[in-house]
Structure 1
Amino acid sequence: MGSGGRYEAYEVDLWGRLAALLPSAEDSENFRDCRETGQQEAGLWILLQRLLEHRVPISDRTRAEIEMLAEQWGERLARHDEIIACVRDSDEEGSIRLLPDDRSTPVDPAQAGMRDSILTGLLVVPWLECLRCARVLARVHAQEPWGDLRYLASHYVVWHHTAPDDEHEIFDDHDLHSAFELLLSCE
């Protein structure tokens, strides 16, 4: 199965797991229907509103997966605060987590030990972290003339942020799932 087929299977499974978190059968059905009808953005809104309203606890990994899904559908900025506001499942053993905003400061790739010419002039924003191997999945953004980061990432990179000169792997903007798979590969 190619990476597109793997991603499709993963996304179907993820939407099913997320639907199971919702407090009512009607909410679950509405959430799944959004994916089936190509309204993923509305589905993410429904999911987060219900998780927050009903204070449904979610694991750090689920929070990271929702954030990744929101990124995939162009909703990360709109949904980020809601995602981090979800109640944390205190029984969960952490394997992957969304980095706190204070650890997600954009850095020059050269400062992070990445000297690839494809990253020149861009900024690396640490984003998701594997707690087992300390690898980080980062978004790579261009900077707008007025100083803000461009809305959509131009690349993704996975690297050991604690050992910046270590190897890293760069993924194109359309290959977020492969970057996420690599982050999870130590499990």
Structure 2
Amino acid sequence: MALVQELAGLLPGPVEDGLGPLVEGLLAYQVPVSGLDRVRLSVLAEEQGVRERITPGLLRCFGDGVPAVVRLLDEDEVVTGAGGLVLVPWIGCNRCGQVLWRAHRWEDWDDLSEQAEKYLVGEAEFGTAGEAFAELQRTCL
């Protein structure tokens, strides 16, 4: 996470305002991005409330040619969870198959809530994306 935090520290202004231009720059200059750094940027963006905005560009970034240990998952395959929450697969581990899920409420406007209520890795629940990703890293990487 050090590289991503270092990059975030270089952004002018608030992190949430700089992540979009950062991803645009990575694309424009064809900078290779490892699978792990792509996931780290996604976690940072989730914590800043801009994940949905930067994900399309992040997914188009060039890879570094090294097989990724973790990857961003297709979020179309949602699962109904306990307490009326909808579980969205977000980050998968290529080594052990564990998944970091975002748990959202289904809103009256017939879509997911903008912000996740909590995050899940296995049976463990977390209040932040960073905590959940740290657990996935602790158990898998």
Scaled by the length of structure 2, the TM-score of the pair is 0.90
Trace 1:1-187 onto structure 2 (pairs within 5 A). 10=1, 13-16=3-6, 18=7, 32-34=10-12, 37=13, 39-90=14-65, 92-101=66-75, 104-109=76-81, 119-159=82-122, 168-172=123-127, 175-185=128-138, 186-187=140-141
Find runs of 4+ consecutive structure 1 residues off by over 3 angstroms.
none
Partners of 2:25 and 2:51 in 1: how far apart? 17
Note closer, same or farther for the CA distance 1:132–1:63 as it changes in structure 2 (3 Å cut): same
Identity %: 34
- Is the contact made by 2:47 and 2:129 (CA closer than 8 Å) also made in structure 1? yes
Partners of 2:60 and 2:53 in 1: how far apart? 13
Kindly indicate which of the two structures has a greater share of residues assigned to strand.
Answer: 2
Scaled by the length of structure 1, the TM-score of the pair is 0.69
Partners of 1:184 and 1:134 in 2: how far apart? 12
- The amino acid across from 1:135 in the alignment is Q
Corresponding residue SS for 1:177: helix
- Is the contact made by 1:108 and 1:124 (CA closer than 8 Å) also made in structure 2? yes
What's the RMSD between the two structures over aligned residues?
Answer: 1.8
Unaligned 5+ runs, structure 2: none
Higher relative contact order (CA 8 A, sep 6+): 2
Computing the radius of gyration from Cα coordinates, the structure with the larger value is 1
How many residues get paired? 140
- Is the contact made by 1:32 and 1:43 (CA closer than 8 Å) also made in structure 2? no
